[in-house]
Amino acid sequence: MKRVPLVPFPLEKVRRFSRILIGFGETVSNFFPSLGWDLDQSDIDLEPREWCSVALFSAGFYFVLLFGLMMSITRVARVSTTQAFGLSFLVGASIGAAAFLYISMYPKLIAKKKIRSLDENLPHALHHLLIQIRSGVPLFNCMVSVSKGDYGQLSKVFERTVDEINTGKSEIEAMETLARENPSLYFRRVLWQIVNALKSGADVSSTIKDIVENLAVDQTMAIKKYGAQLNPIAMLYMVFCVIMPTLGITFLLALGSLVGLSINLEYVLLGILGFLVLFQFMLIGMIKSKRPLGI
């Protein structure tokens, strides 16, 4: 990984620059107990203390940069030294802290994105496996076919497993390793069921068929649950985006005419418009975060 959002320079360069902060990074990494796991799952070849030192270096870089920039701007604007220092420190510290938190959480975001990619493609890949196995194709060849298919992160995972089998590992050992190291709960369950079927000598096609049916049932239940969650969200939209603005403007106009209150409708409408944009943006984010896989 060469570039990371909000890291000011290529990662390898920042890694060298931030070695002086490695002691602070080790202390800070204790506040992120799952950071090591997240780094492994996001394929970032750094230790937790190294990653935290990178985050600290980036935060310090943005603090110094913005502090100096704001001091220059405020001095040109003839702001007093005390106010200029306070404003510059506030802006630099805020942006630096935001950069530190984002970089610290970045491996977790990548790991979650990887899990979602695996779960989205899992039913389609299992159908692929099921069709191939029922056609008499050996399991190894089926995995090779999936690794060459268009299944996103899942194809890459199968490709690594195929490479391990080609180097001498048995299918069971390679799949057990994949099951232990994989971040997706659904995928781990599938792999362990296939491994158990291989160990017991059961029909793998029947096992995969049962897994596909169970996934379809789970997906149907998740979609129904999602539909039920949309009802209160739709009610919130009606109340805050339709009813309240309309009644609020009517109430303000009536109140202004009764008590002789001077109301600047231009500012009121702009404020309501800003509130509606922000609230609808939040609603869209809520709907997207609750959306189940497959829809």
* pLDDT value of residue 195: 85
* pLDDT value of residue 264: 66
Q: Show the tokens assigned to 16.
A: 């060298």
Q: Tens digit of pLDDT for each residue in 189-246?
A: 888 888 888 888 777 778 888 888 887 787 778 788 888 888 888 888 888 888 888 8
CA 8, CA 82: separation in Å to the nearest integer?
Answer: 29
Residue 262 has pLDDT above 70, yes or no: no
Q: Tens digit of pLDDT for each residue in 17-52?
A: 888 988 888 899 888 888 888 888 787 888 899 999
Q: Could you state, in order of their start, the residue ranges of all structural domains in the chain?
A: 11-116, 137-202, 216-290
* pLDDT value of residue 248: 76
Q: Show the tokens assigned to 100.
A: 């530190």
Quote the percentage of the chain above a pLDDT of 90. Answer: 8
Which of 51, 26, 18, 19 lies closest to 37 in space, CA to CA?
51
* pLDDT value of residue 129: 84
* pLDDT value of residue 295: 53
What pTM value is reported for the model? 0.68
Q: Show the tokens assigned to 248.
A: 């609020």
* pLDDT value of residue 55: 92
CA 27, CA 128: separation in Å to the nearest integer?
Answer: 47
Residue 120's identity, in one-letter code, is E
CA 88, CA 81: separation in Å to the nearest integer?
Answer: 10
Residue 1 has pLDDT above 60, yes or no: no
* pLDDT value of residue 100: 92
Q: Show the tokens assigned to 241.
A: 């985006």
Write the burial class of residue 102 (CB in 10 Å: 0-12 exposed, 13-18 middle, 19+ buried). middle
- Of the pLDDT bands very low, low, confident and very high (cuts 50, 70, 90), residue 260 is low
* pLDDT value of residue 268: 73
* pLDDT value of residue 58: 92
Q: Show the tokens assigned to 98.
A: 């935001």
Q: Tens digit of pLDDT for each residue in 77-128?
A: 777 778 888 888 888 899 999 999 999 999 888 888 888 878 788 888 888 8
